[in-house]
């Protein structure tokens, strides 16, 4: 069995952002030389997510609205976590949107459904953060 590890780095210009990282994961898969196996993609931060969904801007606006209803960013003092920080909402949003995804690799390709795309979901950005890509197989 072969394994391959890569970190993807991000530094968003906004506090919250969704980035389609499918091309970077595909590139890592090519670099790995693995044609049958599994790829794990996970956020290495507790205020960011990796998830799979549609690359459609209306849906992303709906995510933003929905998550703001569930865990509004402000007022900051509504959260006990916000003593030294202001990112309690980002921890909660990440919990809902998930930490990681696992995708099957078949014949050297990501075996995704027709509309499935892999996203990095940032909820407390404007700083350098990373995603782990771990590929195992043969
Ligand atoms: Zn925090």
What's the 89 CA to ligand 1 centre distance in angstroms?
Answer: 9
Q: How far is CA 39 from the centre of its chain?
A: 14
What's the 81 CA to ligand 1 centre distance in angstroms?
Answer: 7
Q: Are 129 and 4 in contact (CB under 8 A)?
A: no
Q: Regarding beta strands 17-20 and 129-137, do their DSSP bridges make them parallel or antiparallel, or are they unpaired?
A: unpaired
Six-digit token pair at 85? 């920080």
Query: What's the predicted TM-score (pTM) here?
Result: 0.97
Question: 3-class DSSP state for residue 79?
Answer: coil
Give the fold, CATH level 3, of 2-137.
Jelly Rolls (2.60.120)
Instruction: Please report which residue ranges of the chain form alpha helices under DSSP H.
Output: 22-32, 57-70, 88-97
The residues facing 129 across adjacent strands are: 10
What's the 91 CA to ligand 1 centre distance in angstroms?
Answer: 6
Helix (H) or strand (E) holding 137: strand 129-137
pLDDT at residue 83, as a whole number: 94
Q: How does pLDDT run across 84-135, given as a tens digit for each residue?
A: 999 999 999 999 999 999 999 999 999 999 999 999 999 999 999 999 999 9
> What backbone torsions phi and psi does residue 123 show, to the nearest 5 degrees?
-120, -5
What's the 62 CA to ligand 1 centre distance in angstroms?
Answer: 24
CA dist 134 and 62 (Å) reads 30
**Per-residue confidence at 30, pLDDT binned at 50, 70, 90?**
very high
Mean pLDDT of the chain: 98
Q: How does pLDDT run across 35-58, given as a tens digit for each residue?
A: 999 999 999 999 999 999 999 999
């Amino acid at each position: 069995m072969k394994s391959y590890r890569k970190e993807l780095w991000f530094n968003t210009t906004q506090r919250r952002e969704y980035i389609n990282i499918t091309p970077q994961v595909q590139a890592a898969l090519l670099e790995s030389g693995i044609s049958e196996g599994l790829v794990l993609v996970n956020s290495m931060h507790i205020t960011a997510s990796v998830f799979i969904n549609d690359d459609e801007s209306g849906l992303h606006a709906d995510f933003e609205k929905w998550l703001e209803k569930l865990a509004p960013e402000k007022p900051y003092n509504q959260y006990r976590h916000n003593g030294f920080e202001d990112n309690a909402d980002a921890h909660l949003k990440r919990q809902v949107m998930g930490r990681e995804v696992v995708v099957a690799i078949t014949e050297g390709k990501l075996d995704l459904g027709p509309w499935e795309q892999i996203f990095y979901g940032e909820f407390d950005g404007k700083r350098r953060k990373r995603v782990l890509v771990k590929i195992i197989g043969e």
